[in-house]
Amino acid sequence: MVRQYKSNEAKVKDVDSKQGLVKAYFAVFGNIDSDGDIIEPGSFTKTIKERGPEGSGRIKHFKWHSSRDVPGRIQELGEDEFGGWFISKLSNTTLGKDTLIEYEEGIITEHSHGFEIIKEDHDESGINHIRESKLWEVSSLTAWGANPLTRVDFVKDIKDEKTLLEAIEHITKYLTIGRFSDQLLKDLEQKYSQLTTIYNSLITKEPHYVTCKNGHKFDYNSIPESGMGYVKCPKCKIACTQSADEPKEKEAELKRYYLGKLI
Ligand SMILES: [Zn+2]
């Protein structure tokens, strides 16, 4: 049996901030998805009964399908005419609290589920009807696709300017909201500066003349930065910063630009 994942953008049904409870759909019935599958109503009935909170309690709530990122514990699982839903109690951990804020602020926009197909059949038009699944986990996904920006190697998911800009926008949202844990904000600030460095290296730079302490004048932008905010003078190799507040201004400008796009 192959473990599979399917995502949906169904609206989060309910967030109870006081209790730390969230109710959302992990699957939608009756839609042909991008794999040519339709999840049929009732396909989770058996697995919910056997593996749900009233059964063996094996179905987990993850983030991004990662068993290391468990924001809460499933309290209820069920099905209605629209799809399969879950209620999770978010934990009082840093991850749980940050996840609750992500729900409150609408940053979590998608859910997905990890499952195995037990029963399926193809109709004459080639559509695959999933009639029974074994459910392993339901996952909360944040807006930057299924790619968590909190991952150490997140940069490898940035394939082009579009994903780069999306990532910057996504982080800007977190930084603007501001009330996340210090841990998350610190991590994202670091990533923000990594991303803006990549962004800055992509845009053609105007020449910017600086003079080192020994009086050599050169174009700052013609030399790759040796560290954050300085280059070495091509003649005497002394570390030389860009004039006072210019790099910060550039970053602030970029931030204003993305904030402007968001508002
Ligand atoms: Zn010099």
Q: Can you give the pTM of this predicted structure?
A: 0.74
Give residue 183's pLDDT: 94
Give residue 146's pLDDT: 60
In degrees and rounded to multiples of 5, residue 172 shows phi and psi of -55, -40
Give residue 245's pLDDT: 41
CA nearest to 140, candidates 70, 200, 206, 198: 70
Q: How far is the CA of 251 from the centre of ligand 1 (A)?
A: 26
Give residue 149's pLDDT: 81
Q: How far is the CA of 224 from the centre of ligand 1 (A)?
A: 16
Give residue 262's pLDDT: 53
Give residue 34's pLDDT: 85
Q: How far is the CA of 221 from the centre of ligand 1 (A)?
A: 15
Q: How far is the CA of 252 from the centre of ligand 1 (A)?
A: 29
Give residue 246's pLDDT: 52
Kindly tell me the number of DSSP H helices and DSSP E strands found in the chain.
5, 13
Give residue 248's pLDDT: 52
Q: How far is the CA of 244 from the centre of ligand 1 (A)?
A: 17
Q: How far is the CA of 246 from the centre of ligand 1 (A)?
A: 20
Q: Who's near 1: CB < 8 A, 6+ residues apart?
A: 116, 117, 134
Q: Who's near 197: CB < 8 A, 6+ residues apart?
A: none
Give residue 226's pLDDT: 75
Q: How far is the CA of 247 from the centre of ligand 1 (A)?
A: 20
Query: What residue spans define the domains of the chain?
Result: 3-142, 152-262
Q: How far is the CA of 211 from the centre of ligand 1 (A)?
A: 7
Q: How far is the CA of 236 from the centre of ligand 1 (A)?
A: 4
Rounded mean pLDDT for each run of 10 residues along the chain, 263 residues in total: 83 92 96 92 98 97 93 97 97 96 92 96 94 97 75 81 86 92 94 86 73 88 78 90 58 63 52
CA nearest to 38, candidates 113, 134, 126: 126
Q: How far is the CA of 242 from the centre of ligand 1 (A)?
A: 13
